[in-house]
Structure 1
Amino acid sequence: MAESVEQRAPWYVLALRALAVLAALAGLVVFFYYAFRLTLTPVEDNGQAGGNIDPGRSLRFYLDQPIKDALLQVGGNVILLAPLGILLPVASKRLRGPVRLALVGVLLSLAIETVQGMAVLGRAFDIDDVILNALGVLLAYALAGRRVSRALRGPA
């Protein structure tokens, strides 16, 4: 009976993979800095900020707005956390897969929305933002994250 010996990648492949992980971690630091700066900065809302815990309510409101405003609001929320769908699977093989990434996206978005609703002037909690943020993470993973992660880190 022949024993199965696991093939180790050459040292330079391991070094490149380590560099990819470091680059992804650096990218995450930069991403979080700008994401938190963007989402946790007070805004002038002229008293319009109101919370939303009814899924779909804000989306219906956005879609009743002029197309430019609707695209900015919906697209901005989809794009906001999308980089996580690429950076997280590169930083950690354990974060590959849509279920794990969706969970991370939902939890991070819930944290941001909760802080906005409780402590940031002119901002409010919106469940539709959580849904759109998580959708962005999943789309980024489906479109690029899976392939980028496998190319840079190898198979799971």
Structure 2
Amino acid sequence: MQRQGSMGGSAAFRIRVTGGVLLVAHLVFVAWFALRPLDVPWVMPANLRPLAGIRADLALGWPEAARRIGEGLALLAPLGVLLPVASGRLAVSPLGSLLRTAAAGALISLAVELLQTGVPGQVVDVDSLLLNTLGVMLAHLAVVPLGRARLRRRAELRERADLPQEEPAQGRTPTIPRVGIAPWSDALPPSSP
């Protein structure tokens, strides 16, 4: 039983608002980072073959490949946490939450890739879409299930603390049943012939 206006309700609202603000801030950063024009002497062609760019990165050697793949994983990874926080739901299916978050991350990544077609110096890369979506999923799996479990446990403890431990000495207060509305025949005056 949770009282109206209790600390739990306002704390949940503050967390959702903070998650929404951070989500918008991160999306603004992603738009700035991924959609700014680059001044380059030449541009590679678009990569539309899945995993071809990752193979090319791996051929460059360990430090450069790790940097490029890490950038792809990290760009949208915060969405894996911020999207569920902004939704603010605790009692959801873990698989459903992961699938919703991954789908939203994939759609946002796809939108960024499509918008890059009109930006000078930026190249469309299907591997970026794959890495961005994988980063969202990994961040979600690493943080969200554990965070939700802790918040649910905390809510249960708070609920138990709000419940009375035993009945008062006088017993329960009696309840009075509601009185229904009289039928129309009882409410109307008798008709005279």
* TM-score, normalised relative to structure 2: 0.70
The 1:22/1:65 distance shift into structure 2, 3 A limit, reads: same
Distance 1:128 1:59 in 2: 7
Contact 2:43–2:123 (Cα < 8 Å) also in 1: no
Counterpart in the other structure of 1:126: 125
Report sequence identity in percent: 30
What runs of 5+ residues in structure 1 fail to find an aligned partner?
1-6
Partner of 1:12: 7
Q: CA RMSD for the aligned pairs?
A: 2.2
Q: Please report how far the alpha carbon of residue 85 of structure 1 lies from its aligned counterpart in structure 2 after TM superposition.
A: 0.6
Q: 1:31 to 1:152 in 2, by over 3 A?
A: farther
Cα offset, 1:150, TM superposition: 4.9
Q: Which has the higher relative contact order, 1 or 2, with Cα contacts under 8 A spaced 6 or more apart?
A: 1
What amino acid sits opposite 2:140 in the alignment? Answer: Y
The corresponding residue for 1:146 is: 145
In structure 2, the CA distance between the partners of 1:141 and 1:83, relative to structure 1 (3 Å rule), is same
Larger Rg: 2
Residue type matched to 1:107 in 2? L
Shift in Å, 1:48: 3.0
Contact 1:82 1:136 in 2 (8 A): yes
Count of aligned positions: 148
Structure 1 position 89 matched with structure 2 position 78: no
Residue 97 of structure 1 aligns to a residue whose secondary structure is helix
Contact map agreement 1:77 1:132 (CA 8 A) in 2: yes
Alignment partners' CA distance in 1, 2:148 and 2:130: 24
1:76 matched residue in structure 2? 71
Deviation at 1:146, TM superposition (A): 2.7
Which structure carries more helix by proportion? 1
C-alpha offsets along residues 85-108 of structure 1, whole Å, 9 cap, x if unaligned?
111101113796111111111110
Asked if the contact 1:86–1:146 (Cα under 8 Å) also holds between the matched residues in 2, the reply is no
AA in 2 matched with 1:100:
R
Scaled by the length of structure 1, the TM-score of the pair is 0.85
Structure 2: distance between partners of 1:148 and 1:41: 35
